[in-house]
Chains A and B, each alone.
Chain A
């Protein structure tokens, strides 16, 4: 039963986050690149001021799956690396923490670009 309630929360919070993106689209006609950057920065700031973990403990995939989570791991990586490696961590932290996502996005995009062709919109 607990798990069911968890999923409801994930659905509600994730949905609301995405709906906020749609609100931005409707009110400002913003392009998708700007939306992605905006949400990424929200996550980064939340992590940097140390509140992201509390939100993510509760909301789980509701904030981890939106690109907010990507921004948060950039900040988390940078902070963690500075703690362990000192000055070098400033440069290595962010990308190390998000390496999986970026590599996957590049790798799969390359793979599927080789396989598929673009389709005309209906």
Chain B
């Protein structure tokens, strides 16, 4: 049975930082991001190096934002989308604190915050940095086609966000509190279309949401905002349908980062995706709104598709997961 962990000491998010690419900066959340890069190379030679630098900057930025120094950090928990999570590991190389790599595809932000808050709550670590990011161009060439290939994107495809987000979890300091964590099971309802991540991930979101509501005896009305990660337009509509079948109505307090990320004129079809998608929204817009007390209680539950190109080519379906955390102002 998937249990919900209720955190006794309620660790706080004492700092947050987000960095995005130029296209993301022109999107709906543009004004909330801490830093918008001028171009996708970020002064580096390759896109992979740019992604790494983005994560490095996000980590440095969040330590400053939390008014801490590098020596105050006990451990960093980070992950990304590239094979062997190289961006996170290589970014960790420049810092002098322990690093714990996690992989939850696009759900990595919630996974790392979940693990970090348990470490802090248990009293084992004082200040923990959580960080994740993704880059459109590196994801595109790892999972799909070369950038210059003149192909058309299917109508269900989503646009990987170029961006990284990070936060610091600690018991000391001011900030929104993390009160509950529900880690998700791996769910696979037999979708094998790699261009339809929303459809593949929606059942995972359903599973975690049902578990969370059951364990905590709450419902959608108990939260000011229920936010999924990158289900996109199609996936979030599917989730609403799936929850309706279970007798739970997701109303106007439900939203999806991927669906809201880009403006319609930016032609991203089903919206945004990628680990950076929910990470940048969460560490900018959401945290700011919680600090302003505009939102009091948020259920943040990004989903992740745990596939690889090899499994896809061998005709496997897409296993997905979803981790939920509750943040209170």
Which A residues are closer than 8 A to B by beta carbons? 25, 29, 31-32, 118-122
Contact = CB atoms under 8 A, between A and B. Distances in A.
Contacts of B18: none
Contacts of B145: 31-32
A119 B149 CA distance: 11
B248 interface: no
Interface of B: 21, 23, 39-40, 47, 136-137, 140, 145-152, 154, 162, 193, 195
B151 A118 contact: no
Given A118-B137, A120-B40, A121-B136, A25 B147 contact: no
A25 B153 CA distance: 10
A120 B147 contact: yes
B47 to A, nearest CB: 8
A118 B152 contact: no
Contacts of A32: 145, 149-151
A119 B151 contact: no
15 contacts: A25-B152, A29-B154, A29-B195, A31-B145, A32-B145, A118-B146, A118-B148, A119-B147, A119-B148, A120-B21, A120-B47, A120-B137, A120-B147, A121-B147, A122-B23
Contact of A31 (B21, B137, B151): B151
Contacts of A118: 137, 146-148
A120 B136 contact: yes
Nearest to B151: A32
A67 to B, nearest CB: 14
B265 to A, nearest CB: 12
Nearest to A112: B148
B51 to A, nearest CB: 12
Question: Of A118, A120, A121, which is in contact with the most chain B CB atoms at under 10 Å from its CB?
Answer: A120
Contacts of B136: 120-121
A122 B40 CA distance: 11
Contacts of A31: 145, 151
B20 to A, nearest CB: 13
